[in-house]
Amino acid sequence: MVNENNSVIDDVVSKLVVGTSSLTHMGLATKIAERSLGLQGLDLTHSSLDPRTFSVGEFCPRFALGENGRDLNGKHVYLVMIPSPDEDQEGIFYRAAMASQAAKENGADKVVILATDFPHGRQDRGPGDDDKAKGELTTVRLHARTLLGAGCDQVITTHEHSSRISGYFALESGLIHRERPDLLEKEARSIDPKYVKVPEHVDIDDPEVQALGRKVFKSISPHTILADYLLHQSSLVGTDYLENGGARLLVKSVDKGNRVFIDPLTDALWLPNLIKVYCGKARDAKNDTNKVEVGIEEVIGEFTSFDGMMELLGDDGGDTLGTLRKTAAWSDKGNLCSKTGKFYGVPEGRIIYCTHPWLAGKSYDAIQRRIVNNIGPQEFLTTNTRPYVGDHQYYKLKETSTVLRLAGLWADAILANELGHDVMSRYANFSCEEEQHRFISPLYVLKRHTRHFMAEDSRSKKEINFELRG
């Protein structure tokens, strides 16, 4: 990796303003700002943006400006947007849009929303795409139109749920009409280029449409961070699961959409002998709701049985974790393939991962109990895209859960984006594991509870003072 000249970095930082439109999780937003700006002791409400609210509850963001105002001239403003179950999700999003417009009205040259988890990212299909969505809206399309209309120039997020999101940003930004009108269907090509309101004339699933949208909507994949953790700090370290090229490690893709994460993850593990399994989505058996049917579509690697292996199940997010629970139950009963009738055996342990710990919002306690009781992972791994998960954990889950905290990653992405680097490829495709570890390891830290089975025993002998009475 090539290090940028310090003077270049200083010039980039001099143009940066990092703020947040919400007081929720201000600690995380501050860490991101401090690491990207190279400062300590920041108070974002005074140094950049005060997310103030009037007494009647109306939001009115105010940037910290000098006496003459419009001090954002020439500045590039990054607004950190962090979802929380304790706040109205739509309110979090709209406040970010209001802050974006406030930045532009006060002179900012560029506004970027840094969304640790892009809101409503799973609502990427509307009534024209899916019968299940009849009567609904394509929420991510509305978000694209709202943010772009409010002056936002780019969005950076983590582990998008669907590549369709970038397609809608390509459409709503007008990029298709300006740069690739050939991607429009014939009946739409006569439309005024300023009019970008007709998704039915554009194939949102077209890779060329989505590639165009990547100029505006960028998603960082955390697969190399997960891989680095597994190789260097997880419960796998020091065991024979990583020996012999990972011959006792089993990585499962739980559905087709999951493959876009699992494939680069296995590449980043640098274990040539690990077993990779592509599964169809776990479903209740038609004639017995107590049984689960899973079709194994492909197995990559040489093995005789899953017996004695460690399996890894990973996904973009965990809400009810229904798919993972069904897959785990099916695995515990022998990995019977519904297509072939073959039993593949029972792994002896399991690690599960999800980038976004949705965990059913405020119902996270019940969901976490299910993780412990129905999935029984050796480790439960997630990130702090939704920071509350580290503070509100069912006490038994604390014993196995590790949170990969990504403030360093997001701060690095801000600087990289300003320097013109592609943040979607920056954290992938290394030449060797050593280079990957050297680059990736400083970008995250761990959070484990003192009850965690891998935490160092902090207990020490202490004198007991007890006063006898009578």
297-346 residue pLDDT tens: 889 998 889 999 999 999 898 888 888 888 898 999 999 888 888 899 99
CA distances from 282 to 168, 264, 276, 296, 299 (A): 29, 22, 17, 10, 16
Reported CATH class of domain 6-220 = alpha beta
Say how many CA atoms lie within 13 Å of 34 toward its Cβ.
Answer: 12
Same CATH topology for 6-220 and 223-405+432-447: the answer is: yes
pTM higher than 0.75: yes
237: phi then psi, degrees, rounded to nearest 5: -65, 130
Residue 2 predicted with pLDDT over 70: no
Output the pLDDT for position 459: 55
Nearest-CA neighbor of 218 among 456, 410, 3, 445? 410
Across the chain, mean pLDDT equals 88
Rounded (10°) CA dihedral 206, 210, 213, 215: -130
| 264, pLDDT greater than 60 | yes
Question: Worst-scoring range by mean pLDDT, 98-107, 254-263, 382-391, 428-437?
Answer: 382-391
**Structure token pair of residue 336:** 């019977």
Strands (E), 82-180: 110-115, 154-158
Note whether 117 and 157 are within 8 A (CB): yes
Q: What is the mean pLDDT of residues 258-270?
A: 96
Q: Is the pLDDT of residue 206 over 60?
A: yes
pLDDT of 187 > 50? The answer is no
The helix/strand count (H/E) of the chain reads as 14, 17
Give per-residue pLDDT as tens, 440-466: 999 999 999 888 999 876 555 667 666
What CATH code would you report for 223-405+432-447? 3.40.50.2020
User: Cα separations (Å) of 163 from 123, 208, 211, 334, 403?
Assistant: 12, 11, 9, 34, 25
How many whole angstroms separate alpha carbon 409 and alpha carbon 157? 11
Alpha-carbon distance of 469 to 200, in angstroms, equals 83
What pLDDT score does 67 carry? 59
Q: Which residues of 391-418 are buried (b: 16+ CB within 10 A; e: fewer)?
A: eebbeebbbbbbbbbbbbbbbbbbbbbb
Confidence at 195, pLDDT banded by 50, 70, 90: very low
For residue 390, pLDDT beyond 70? no
**Average of pLDDT values for 88-115?**
95
pLDDT for residue 352 is more than 60: yes
Separation between Cα atoms, residue 313 and residue 353, nearest integer Å: 6
In 62-220, DSSP assigns E strands to 62-63, 76-81, 110-115, 154-158, 217-220
Contacts of 470 (CB under 8 A, 6+ apart): none
DSSP string, 416-469: HHHTT--TTTTTS--SSHHHHHHHHGGG-EEE--TTSTTS--------------
What is the residue extent of each domain of the chain? 6-220, 223-405+432-447
Q: Check residue 232 and give its pLDDT.
A: 98
Mean pLDDT of 126-131: 78
Give the tens place of pLDDT for each residue, 144-186.
Answer: 999 999 999 999 999 999 999 999 999 899 998 889 888 886 4
